[in-house]
Structure 1
Amino acid sequence: MSKTSIHRTLRRSALTVALGFCVASGVHAQSNVAGSISGSTGQPGATVVIENVNTGLTRQITSDASGRYSATSLPTGVYNVTLQRDGQVLATQERVEVQLGSGREVSFATAGGAGGAAATDLDRIMVTASAASMIDVSSTDTRTVFTAQQLEKLPVGRSIEAVALLAPGVIQADSRYPGTASFGGSAASENAFYINGYAVTNPLTNLGSTTLPFDGISQMQVITGGYGAEFGRATGGVVNIVTNRGGNEWKFGGLMTYNPASLRADYRNIIYPNNGTANDGLIYQKRQEIDVNSWSYGLSASGPIIQDRLFVYVTAEAQDQDQDGVLARPGGATNGYQRSHYEIPRWMAKLDWNITDNHLLEVTAVSDITKQTVDYFPYVYTPGTNETTKGTSKTGGYYYEDGGELYIGKYTGYLSDNLTLSALYGQQKQDHVAEPFGYDPSVVYVSDSRSIPDPIQRGTYAQLAFPDAFDETEGGRLDLEWRLADHALRLGYDRQDSTSRAGQVTSGPNGYRWIYQTCGTGHAGDAIPGGGGAICPGGSGDYVSQYKYANGGTFTVKQWAYYLEDRWQITDQWLLTLGLRNENFRNFNADNIVYAEQKNQWAPRIGASWDVFGDSSLKAFANAGRYHLAMPNNVALRGAAGSLYTNEYFSFTGFDPATGAPLGLTALGDGPYSSNREYGQAPDPDSVTAKGLKSHFQDEFVLGFEKRMTDSINVGARYVHRDLKSAIDDMCDYRPAYKWAIDRGMSEEMADQLGNELANCRLFNPGEANTFMLDDGTGKLVEVALTAEELGFPKLKRMYQGIDMFVERAFDGKWYGRLDYTLSRNYGNAEGQLKSDVGQGDVSQTMDWDHPELMDYANGYLPNDRRHYVKGYGFYQLTPEWRFSAAATFQSGRPKNCTGYYPDTPENEEFNEFYAYGGPYYHYCNGQPVARGTSGRMPWTNKLDLGVSYAPNFANNALVFSLDVFNVFDSQVAQNMVEYGELGGIGVPYNQTGRPLSFSTPRNVRFAVRYDF
């Protein structure tokens, strides 16, 4: 073969690689912010030169005694890989794309033989087929990578969640947790999000994350299982984003999108179900009046500040959205109509400094802010009809502003061919502003609960969120990789501290409000109900209460870990990954005192990859591991914060007509009284949680294969088994501590004290023995050790089993496509950190484990159980000017429940009278047990999205017009529903049983114009 033929062959091979991998997704290597290139040179001591096409970054690696080489921690991008010997170029593989967390193999061999001598003959050097393979045999885990080029071609929403939902094993979470997803049967709060290696998960609730201008995303990795010891703190999934960066060529771009309300299908109304009431068939929420109009604008620029050394990338995006809609059916002139205006400015900037080819420094800055103005108007239904009247005078509203800036710095040092050091540091601060319409901070709020013709009322808002609320994080990591013969040893340390300030306080200038009340005539000297000893006055019995309320503070969670991992290439065909991670979590209350701590939590990880035929055409892989998750700051807000809640009672002789404040006050009691004994002090941190509380953790096992069927088609399958071993929740049951004290001969008074302490809700590990530290009434803590049997709860269970199968066709210049099918089963008695059954958002403090009776018949199919779901997406390049694309999802519905009151039988009499929640929260309907998930299923959700784009020849493909239609067939089906089967007592039907809570989004259209030059 001539040199010219070789060169032509290499270029064809490179083109195949470039086209195929621009949209490749599947199984990759590591969950960091870089990738790797490795392979065989066919000879020891050869030089492999790896050069970034866009930045000129160059690494030179010498092959080892077996002829192999490896270049790790490469920034994502496109590289040329050249084999040299004694300064002479032997062969080049052009345009090898390194994807996020992936390993690319580029091997060189001699035609017809091996050996260093023959390798000097250029006519006998060729690139092996493994260089063009779509199968990454260097990985033992499961993930999907989406590139910017792929996302630009597909009809997908411009959000992190919309992209994540394309990955196998990922479903949309309950609509009451907007913008979130469930990975592999987990709760929506169990995921982790990273931007350029820094964790950006919401620190208050763990629901969602910081985001960035969508066009700033270079690659997005969705990890659905089995990641290595390098990362932790997620029992759901991981979303890992790397941003665009500048190169040696100046580039500019602009984008405008428009989603017109006029082309959006009407939202489906929510109708009262036919339950034999006067409201049957009437509109509960007139969603057809929802109107959404959205624009977005984006600009970007990138290029060299210093050629080959210093680069910049900047992008900015602004979105304007107007949304009108009707809230739930009101009975009269209320705030029933809501008009919202959103302004969402975002920007991102990135500097990359290649100090030398061996020392890299990058700095990223991201601003993510959302501004929302909400106005309320009256909206009245004519009784007994669907006729409505909308008022024009504003009755209330709010201005919200959430967000702030994120800064990340990262250093990478290639200290030698075999030793790489990386260090990362980041910090973020997000402020949360909530300013109510018409609020006057100088006015003391006054309300009147007496039935009188002209009640006293002053002020608009009784209590407000903290005006200085914020979330902030700070952290970093240090990683060292050392390649030693067939071993790649990685060790590192990472830490992140997150702090949140949140809570509510009484509005007005003085920290209290006045509440006018009455005992009625003839009750002089009687005790005021719940008044702590205060007595009713004479006369009319009218009195006034000075009410003070404050709850919240500033809370912190500190998380750190260290890990060691060995990637051992046992043979050319077998790779074994052995890792061990040590996790540590520490939660602080508002007094900066630790109230929960989990130390030295060992998390083993093991994985194996088998290149069956040695040519990267068939890979079998398996992995197993343990994964831990910390509690977010919201847990302290709900369970470890100081809560001031006092009333002081007075008789009065009159009131100030200007302010509504009472005059002529006479105390009716001994001072402020509170059912909260601490009077605003945080509870003793040792009493908040069970002693030795274990963290939320899960074990996982994955087994799979991937097969290259042809040069362009891959197929694969994997089995996933996830078992939640431990969770944290709160329990609020009086009885175990009371009985424990009585059994030990303590007084009735002491038993009652300890029982009430436990009934105040303490964090514990459900289904296990727990030891509580409870106040004996004097401030001394008593150790109360309770077995699982004494607590009375069943063993915790959440198990996910799934089989994912896929077929993928690489882009060949004409079309690309991928099809996934998942058969899964999500079974147990607890969803995890959330309770989607009722949309409860108190992370790790759900209703489920408050009393054992709530867990009767709770074992069954969980809310995130979707038995079947099919996902497909792809595009077809009809001509250089015209491209067509599609994405489709078909998903079976979630299981339905019927819940009601706990049976009113003689054996349950004491529980119902003294302990039970007086509501329809139990797995009983009409007094009969109805096990979880046995009341049928919601309907299938089917969605087809189509897109078309036109890039006119006269603009040299720089100008692109596109049109995307989402939910083409306007399939709007109920996503969830009211599951209470009765209300007001056993056997009393609830007139809203089965009412849908939300529907899938209606058909809508997006126009876009993009210009890049």
Structure 2
Amino acid sequence: MHSSAVRARALLRVALLASAVAVATPSFAQTTTASIRGTVAHGANAQITAVDTNSGASRHTTADANGVYTLPGLRPGTYDITFAAGAQTTKQQVTVGVGENSTLDVDVAPPPQTANAAPGAGQIVVTGRRLVETRTSELGTNVTTQQIQNLPQASRNFLNFAQLAPGVRVSSNPNRKTFSGAGVSQDPNGESLGGPQVNVFIDGVSLKSDINQGGIVGGDSSKGNPFPQAAVQEFRVISSNYKAEYEDAGTTVISAVTKSGGNEFHGEAFGFFQLNSLRSKDYFQKQNARDGIADNSDFSQKQYGASLGGPIVKDKLHFFVAYEANQQNNVQSVVLGRRTEPGVLDQFGKYEGTFNTPFHEDLGFAKLTLEATEADTIDLSGSIRKEKDLQGFGGQTARTVASDVKNTVYTGRLRWAHNKGDFLNEASIDYLYFKFAPTPDDPTDVQQAYDQTITIGGASTSQKVVQKGFTLRDNMTFSNVDFLGGNHVFKLGGKVAFVDYTVNNDLNGNPIFKYQNRPDLDEDFTQPYEANYGVGDPTIHAKDTQIGVFAQDDWKATDKLTFNIGLRWDYETNAKNNDYVTPADAATALRNLQTQLNAVGVTSFKASDYISDGHNRKPYWKEFQPRLGVSYDIFGNQRTVAFMGWGRYFDRTLFRNAAEEALFRQFASRTFEFSKDGGIRDGKQTIQWDPKYLSKDGLDALIADSVAPPGELRITRNDMKPPRTDQFSVGIRQKIGRLINTSIAYNHVVAKDQVGYYPVNRMPTPNADGGYDAIPVPGFGDVIAMTQARASKYDGMYVTIDKAFTKASPWSINIAYTLSFSKERGYAFNFDHPDVAAQPYLPNAGDERHRVVISGLAQLPWDFQISTLMVFGSGQPYQVTDQTNGPGAFQTVSNVGHTKPFRQVDLRLTKDIHLFGHDRTDFQLIAEVFNVFNRANFQDYDGFIPTPPQTNSNFGNPTDLAGPPRTFQFGARFSF
């Protein structure tokens, strides 16, 4: 037996043992809690008690002989903490944030007393302050309840505030609610298409999308929000050097914690609305009006909801529920290309206009919290997300091409935390169900695409993607362990997830007929030159088991020096669709192709790397991820802290990347080449056009007559690895005065083993026209191979300035500046170079040189409050496809195009009305304006350069907006 197989089996046994622990005690990730660590001066063996001011739950620990203590596993919130040493006590009220490991040093020695001191004067009481995490090696930003509730926002998507963290960008595409970090695998068209290498945890439940792009389930192709904002208490964005407990992310992690009920009833009801009369005409609507194009839109948006939390049994059982609805009538403009050319308006003018895109979303969340004993807390919670949208048109795509998109996400969670002294066990069972199902709005009309002019007919593709599974976790924390001359907090944990996948991708199940104006080829808009049509079984099912274990040591070596040392290991049983067997005809074709390539000097392709017998695709077992961080409090007072971190982070390959190999064998997207005479074009035999072919039945008849060419052969490497990043960061934090915290940090990220595709059956050198001739593969079309030569590099400088909001100083400001350099080798589909590994590194969409995000709050007289969110970006590269030397010799040059700078300023004004004479019952009137200066921010630039004598008059022009025109929103909130 091979030694690697022996090692793999041994490691699997270790993982299964960890999983057995998880099954015995269902699990909860440390990602949702906080901890306080410090030293009690003059407090050897001091007794420490922390009481949650909301629920009344208490936690106890004892300081060691040196006064060092740790309070781990605290739910984020406000605590009354009492330190008792002998007859002396000190009491402090502090607030801790999710994921923060804060430092609280106290002194129980009484202050000097005067002769007239009153009894009990030796007790010190400090009230009301938020602890700021300083002694950490992470690059992390906490977004507070105050910011979530009071900063201006049009959509109530709490993830929009992730951009308050440097190095993080939120997609401005209204149909793609994704975020990204460190420029990894970002599409070259000015947008982070897939939101890759990120993860979001809500109460420890991972929302990772295992199949679709978008980073998290429901994030791609959606106008919706992942979770009701009314239920989110706060969240943390970690841009680099996150600890070993975090999984399935290579760049950025977001950990959110939900609200819980307490001993008093609290709730709110709210409503916000936008109307067409409160919204300026956008750039394209104004342009359409000048061109005489009708505006048929009636924009509106309504958001409303309510939440309620309180006691069922005081100090024992609490509940919290929340519901939100989002109803939108957005607008999308359809504008012809080449509209000034003769005959274009006459033939296609009826498709131009501005049209509504209706959208509706319902979000719900419910939680029960049981304080079973002083040491045991049990949570049971669940969420629901259901949305329906009309999308898929606009620009040069007609309204008829729209798809009805349904998005559904359910989550459930049972969590048990046992906290006794210096031992904490957190366990949970998590459930996730996700379904994404777009279908053509008009499935009966074939699609017709007129080059650079308009696409009409029905949508070409329907999908049904389902991801569901259970995850079992168990994490243990051992605090106040004195070892090697320092104080340690050890964390050990494991998870096992049982996941089912379904991928149904009926690609071009409704055929696309393509037209172009090429007088040199005798082609025009009277007949198509090509058709794409998918036939067969478009569904793949699979099961996967995911295992992960980690160990983490937070080692306080001295009063100034802290180390964070961790190791994580992950494993998947079926990440590659391992049971797939390459059909005999495909295997023969690949071996013959290797022989042909060897004959022309290409030796890098080996057929055996891609031929699977159902047994030779072994799970990848080398996902060892060491992580090391260090921080040094230079003066020992938490005011000046230097920090540094390094780590390796594995994400996971999307399952559909592995599934498409099998899918393309049982479901083929065939390409039909048509011409007026049925002759040879570009070396390929064409089919003489007949109008009867303009239907599914017509193309089915060609297939039945064996006239249709074979479909593409998609192949995947047997040794496919999960993508990974290696990160290094270094920086310094400086506190100024009592309320201002600043930092500057450098972040370096190298990403490897990213997934891309390229055609294998190509000559290695260009022909006389600059293109690469195809090598025929009998029985198949092109052979498209997965490559993991795609890689990226990122360097970022992050600067933050934060001034806290307090009662004594009732204003705040938060500034995040990012200077970034991002470049990438290879893209998702690489058809312009025969060897992806030999491609140069070119700037990608993450290469936005400067980005500044400013937010702030200020309390005004007469119970008014003003807040702002401002975003300024210097612009990004976009993809330019140059076919000057012919269609077969195009070059993709991502750093030629550059978008215009992004500028958006949003404001909110709130008036508080205190009802019934006290502050606990508020009625708020809210007025907001988005894009105050009505700047046209663009995206999706036309970067196509055609072959002469064709021209593209739209080259370099944007086709869509990256944000709203000036829009007013009004709302009200009642809270108690």
* Structure 2 match to 1:541: none
Distance 1:668 1:56 in 2: 74
**969, 985, 988: which is aligned to 2:933?**
969
> SS in structure 1 opposite 2:230?
helix
Shift of 1:397: 6.2
Give the TM-score normalised by the residue count of structure 1.
0.73
* Structure 1 match to 2:657: 635
* Structure 1 match to 2:22: none
Distance 2:174 2:311 in 1: 45
Pairing of 1:755-904 with structure 2 (within 5 A): 759-766=782-789, 796-830=791-825, 846-848=828-830, 851-852=833-834, 858-879=840-861, 881-896=863-878, 898-901=880-883, 903=885
Deviations 1:291-330 (A, max 9, x none): 4201111111111111111111001111221234332428
* Structure 2 match to 1:370: 387
* Structure 1 match to 2:729: 702
Deviates more, 1:400-409 or 1:637-646: 637-646
* Structure 2 match to 1:909: none
Distance 2:350 2:125 in 1: 76
Distance 2:883 2:255 in 1: 44
Distance 1:752 1:765 in 2: 23
Give the TM-score normalised by the residue count of structure 2.
0.75
**478, 483, 501: which is aligned to 1:482?**
478
Shift of 1:37: 2.1
* Structure 1 match to 2:630: 608
Shift of 1:217: 0.5
* Structure 1 match to 2:907: 946
753 and 407 in structure 1: CA distance in 2 versus 1, 3 angstrom threshold: same
Deviations 1:178-218 (A, max 9, x none): 22222122332221111111111333223044511111100
Deviations 1:16-58 (A, max 9, x none): xxxxxxxxxxxxxx97100012322332222111111111111
Q: Structure 1 counterpart of 2:953, which letter?
A: N
* Structure 1 match to 2:603: none
Deviates more, 1:863-872 or 1:498-507: 498-507
> SS in structure 2 opposite 1:728?
strand
> SS in structure 2 opposite 1:151?
helix
162 and 60 in structure 1: CA distance in 2 versus 1, 3 angstrom threshold: same
* Structure 2 match to 1:990: 952
Q: Does 1:419 align with 2:417?
A: no
> SS in structure 2 opposite 1:766?
strand
Higher relative contact order (CA 8 A, sep 6+): 2
Pairing of 1:60-71 with structure 2 (within 5 A): 60-71=60-71
Shift of 1:287: 10
703 and 574 in structure 1: CA distance in 2 versus 1, 3 angstrom threshold: same
Distance 1:702 1:603 in 2: 16
Taking only aligned residues, the RMSD between alpha carbons, in angstroms, comes to 4.3
Q: Does 1:728 align with 2:698?
A: no
Asked if structure 2 preserves the Cα contact closer than 8 Å seen for 1:512 and 1:548, the reply is no
Task: Quote the sequence identity (%).
Answer: 20
Q: Structure 2 counterpart of 1:802, which letter?
A: M
**911, 918, 935: which is aligned to 2:888?**
918
**428, 431, 455: which is aligned to 2:432?**
428
733 and 866 in structure 1: CA distance in 2 versus 1, 3 angstrom threshold: same
> SS in structure 1 opposite 2:637?
coil
Shift of 1:600: 2.2
* Structure 2 match to 1:170: 168
* Structure 2 match to 1:410: 415
**343, 361, 376: which is aligned to 1:359?**
376
**295, 299, 315: which is aligned to 1:292?**
299
Q: Structure 2 counterpart of 1:488, which letter?
A: V
753 and 68 in structure 1: CA distance in 2 versus 1, 3 angstrom threshold: same
Asked if structure 1 preserves the Cα contact closer than 8 Å seen for 2:135 and 2:638, the reply is no
**206, 209, 222: which is aligned to 2:237?**
222
Shift of 1:979: 1.7
Shift of 1:969: 0.7
Unaligned 5+ segments in structure 1 are: 1-29, 115-120, 273-280, 382-389, 450-459, 516-544, 650-656, 740-750, 768-795, 836-845, 905-916, 924-931
Pairing of 1:35-434 with structure 2 (within 5 A): 35-41=34-40, 42-85=42-85, 90-94=89-93, 96-111=94-109, 123-124=121-122, 126=124, 134-157=131-154, 158-173=156-171, 175=173, 178-186=176-184, 187=186, 188-207=195-214, 208-210=216-218, 211-269=226-284, 291-329=298-336, 331-334=348-351, 338-372=355-389, 399-414=404-419, 416-434=420-438
Larger Rg: 1
436 and 714 in structure 1: CA distance in 2 versus 1, 3 angstrom threshold: closer
Deviations 1:334-382 (A, max 9, x none): 48654332221111001111111211111111011112357999x999x
Deviates more, 1:756-765 or 1:493-502: 756-765
* Structure 1 match to 2:746: 719
* Structure 1 match to 2:584: none
Shift of 1:608: 0.7
513 and 70 in structure 1: CA distance in 2 versus 1, 3 angstrom threshold: closer
Asked if structure 2 preserves the Cα contact closer than 8 Å seen for 1:514 and 1:547, the reply is no
Shift of 1:252: 2.6
Distance 2:293 2:243 in 1: 49
Distance 2:392 2:130 in 1: 56
204 and 335 in structure 1: CA distance in 2 versus 1, 3 angstrom threshold: farther
Asked if structure 2 preserves the Cα contact closer than 8 Å seen for 1:171 and 1:181, the reply is yes
Asked if structure 2 preserves the Cα contact closer than 8 Å seen for 1:246 and 1:304, the reply is yes
Asked if structure 1 preserves the Cα contact closer than 8 Å seen for 2:422 and 2:478, the reply is yes
Deviations 1:258-303 (A, max 9, x none): 122211111111899xxxxxxxx99899697654201111111111
Q: Structure 1 counterpart of 2:975, which letter?
A: D
Asked if structure 1 preserves the Cα contact closer than 8 Å seen for 2:534 and 2:667, the reply is no
Q: Structure 1 counterpart of 2:929, which letter?
A: V
**939, 954, 964: which is aligned to 1:1001?**
964
**561, 564, 577: which is aligned to 2:548?**
561
Asked if structure 2 preserves the Cα contact closer than 8 Å seen for 1:563 and 1:580, the reply is yes
971 and 625 in structure 1: CA distance in 2 versus 1, 3 angstrom threshold: same
* Structure 1 match to 2:492: 491
Shift of 1:630: 0.9
Distance 1:36 1:355 in 2: 21
Asked if structure 1 preserves the Cα contact closer than 8 Å seen for 2:726 and 2:751, the reply is yes
Unaligned 5+ segments in structure 2 are: 1-28, 113-118, 187-194, 219-225, 337-344, 450-456, 514-531, 581-613, 673-691, 767-773
987 and 858 in structure 1: CA distance in 2 versus 1, 3 angstrom threshold: farther
